[in-house]
Amino acid sequence: MKTHELSVIIPAYNCADCIGACLDSVFYQANSQNLDVIVINDGSTDRTGSIVSRYQDQYPNITLINQRNAGVSAARNMGIEVAEGKYITFVDADDTVGLSAKYVKTFLDARMDYVRWSDIDGLQFRLRNFDKMPEFKPIYERAYFSRMLHAANMFNADVALGGKATLNTEDKYISSLGYHDQLYSGPYAKQQILRHADKRESANFALYRRDFLNQTNLRFEQSMPLDEDILFTMLAVLRAKSVITVPKSTYLYNRYRGTASNFHDVAQANYKYTIATIQRLSVLMQELGSRPEWDVEYNEWMREFARIGRDAPIEYQRHFANENCLGCPCDKCGDCAQRRATDRRITENIQMFLQNTKSRE
């Protein structure tokens, strides 16, 4: 049986209008005939499944799995279970891979009034808002996967992190996020990469060694409706023996308000993302608390976790609708199962923090 170097996992739900462009970008990449491409059709009610079936006629290395709708985390986890590649990567059905990093830089550099946030421990972020979206004609290259695979294999890395460009035609902005230099991260440098992972917003545009995911039992948390992929990447960086960054491999992220991670209502967004942050940091704190080598980061993240847990009910109280507590109607009265569970986890983590701090004195 032929061994694949890379499995590409694509969760797909009602994306008939974009799945073709996604697959075209994947198969434009060098040596795409050797990829293990897995499309998880997550209960789509449009033509998504039939479109992928037609692509299978041309590309026999596509595996199509049809399942009842269970959400993006369940779809990605299913992909991990059936993947055969040495490495695994994730691509969303409304995104494309292989965007030219040089094109993005040239596009933004031609507009000098963009917001530039760079030189933050090797992480670079650029953002440009527009009154009217300019014509953005993506130029693609064929080394997106091969460049990351080469770097991962060269350093025997468990995780390889690429960069992304975000295109938001509704809010009218274009941004880029990436790394200044290729960085092989040892114990100290990996602390910086952990903070980078918190800013990436996604588990995409990265490679993960499949054996590493299985050995550490790392999967997406299906109970989290938001930020589950940020948590996945942070835990991957934390548990990995080695991480490599790959500056020139760029992923094009199309951000729409209609997707699961976007809200038309700002108040609802503030509330939902605050809850998601508390959930994510809660899991992270449990992980960091058992690792003495991460003492400094544990203390810093713990203070942030405790601050958010303390301030959130006060800061966002005016935004909380009676029926809007993750489906629970009891938010205002305080008899909310989600809130009780969150409060309990906060208390546990604060107790762990105090205990660990005392033991180090």
The pLDDT value given to residue 324? 45
Kindly tell me the burial class for residue 324, based on how many C-beta atoms sit within 10 Å of its own C-beta (0-12, 13-18, 19 or more).
middle
pLDDT at 61 over 90: yes
- Residue 286 pLDDT grade (very low, low, confident, very high; cuts 50, 70, 90): confident
Residues 359, 354: Cα–Cα separation, whole Å: 9
Which pLDDT belongs to residue 323? Answer: 44
Q: Nearest-5° angle of CA 256, CA 261, CA 264?
A: 65
pLDDT at 15 over 50: yes
Q: Residue 350 pLDDT > 90, yes or no?
A: no
pLDDT band at 322 (very low <50, low <70, confident <90, very high): very low
Whole-model pTM: value is 0.85
User: What pLDDT is recorded for position 157?
Assistant: 95
Predicted confidence at residue 275, as pLDDT, reads 77
Q: pLDDT-based confidence at 259, cuts 50/70/90?
A: very low
Percent of the chain with pLDDT over 70: 78
Flag the least confident range among 180-194, 221-235, 292-306, 316-330.
Answer: 316-330
Count other Cβ atoms within 10 Å, centred on residue 39.
30
Q: Residue 258 has what pLDDT? A: 46
Q: What are the C-alpha distances in Å from 242 to residues 19, 158, 183, 245, 291?
A: 33, 6, 10, 10, 16
Residue-wise pLDDT for 66-106, tens only, equals: 999 999 999 999 999 999 999 999 999 999 999 999 999 88
* Average pLDDT score over residue span 52-65: 97
Query: Are the C-beta atoms of residues 184 and 245 closer than 8 Å to each other?
Result: no
**Side chain identity, residue 298:** Y
Residue 311 pLDDT > 90, yes or no?
no
What is the distance, to the nearest Å, from the Cα of residue 169 to the centroid of all Cα atoms in its chain?
21
The pLDDT, as a whole number, for residue 329 is 47
Average pLDDT over residues 105-131: 76
As a whole-number percent, the residues of the chain with pLDDT over 90 amount to 49
User: What average pLDDT does the segment 279-296 reach?
Assistant: 84
Mean pLDDT of 302-325: 62
CATH number of 6-254: 3.90.550.10
Band of pLDDT at residue 194, cut at 50, 70 and 90: confident
**Separation between Cα atoms, residue 283 and residue 46, nearest integer Å:** 36
Q: Which residue has the higher pLDDT, 359 or 96?
A: 96
Phi first, then psi: give them for residue 108, nearest 5 degrees. Answer: -75, -35
- Distance (Å, rounded) from C-alpha 190 to C-alpha 207? 16
Which range among 119-128, 186-195, 310-319 shows the weakest confidence by mean pLDDT? 310-319
Question: Quick one: average pLDDT of 263-275?
Answer: 68
* 278, 309 contact by CB (below 8 A): yes
Mean pLDDT over the full length of the chain: 84
CB 279, CB 342: distance < 8 Å: yes
206 Ramachandran zone, left/alpha/beta (phi>0; psi -120 to 50): beta
Q: What's the pLDDT score for residue 182?
A: 80
Give residue 331's pLDDT band: very low, low, confident or very high (50, 70, 90): very low
pLDDT of residue 20: 97
Region 136-165: what's the mean pLDDT?
A: 95
- What pLDDT band is residue 166 in, cutting at 50, 70 and 90? very high
Compute the Cα dihedral for 38, 43, 46, 47 and give only its sign. positive
Work out the pLDDT band at 358, boundaries 50, 70, 90: low
